[in-house]
Chain A
Amino acid sequence: TQLLEQSPQFLSIQEGENLTVYCNSSSVFSSLQWYRQEPGEGPVLLVTVVTGGEVKKLKRLTFQFGDARKDSSLHITAAQPGDTGLYLCAGARGTSYGKLTFGQGTILTVHP
């Protein structure tokens, strides 16, 4: 059972376009993290959201945590080839110390 459903799985766009990646669950998470991973490397943390309704911006990236803390989205404005990679959402639940539940990931390719 995949507790975190991430969509779309693949995204191929042109430089300059906007995009949104979604991460949905029927479960409540105490926090949700977004990572970006390059081939052969470990995931690199982009942001952690904790409060329902929270919005965080990181340059051209905007992250939102749903009011009920069951879903999140990542929006990229004016995508660049350097944004290419695997984007992963991961949720932490209550007392499940050290255990993150990951979505399946979104492979983003930005063409110049």
Chain B
Amino acid sequence: KAGVTQTPRYLIKTRGQQVTLSCSPISGHRSVSWYQQTPGQGLQFLFEYFSETQRNKGNFPGRFSGRQFSNSRSEMNVSTLELGDSALYLCASSFRDSLQETQYFGPGTRLLVL
């Protein structure tokens, strides 16, 4: 099975712009989660989608949004970019069973805001 794929891998934007990141989960996985990773804060949960519905949301401002399509692919959007949004954005997919919440991560999108 192919792993989680994320596009683009690298992105440079300027303050005030907006950006859209894409994630394709492992085939058969219906849950997609997004995380932001920075040296200072580590990995922080942004939101999770399951069957096109947002089930869980982290503590990020409304500038961060996402959606999921019927084929489970997901996108996240960041509007009005700030310097502090520079980070590695990671997408993870999972196939939840009754006992585990095992998530498989993609390689990430490195976003640099200038």
Contacts and interface: CB of A to CB of B under 8 A. Distances in A.
A30 B97 CA distance: 12
A40 B110 CA distance: 8
Contact of B31 (A45, A97, A103): A97
Looking at B31, B88, B110, the one whose CB has the most chain A CB atoms below 10 A away is: B88
B97 to A, nearest CB: 10
Contact of B105 (A31, A42, A104, A105): A42
Contact of A100 (B6, B33, B106): B33
Range of interface residues on A (Cβ < 8 Å): 20 to 34
B100 A100 contact: no
A50 B99 CA distance: 7
Interface in A28-43: 30-31, 33, 35, 40-43
Interface string B21-56: 000000000011101000000111100111000011
Contacts of B35: 100, 102
**Which of A40, A41, A88, A100 counts the most B-chain CB atoms under 10 A from its CB?**
A100
B59 to A, nearest CB: 11
Nearest to B10: A40
A44 interface: yes
Interface of A: 30-31, 33, 35, 40-45, 48, 50, 88, 90, 92, 96-105
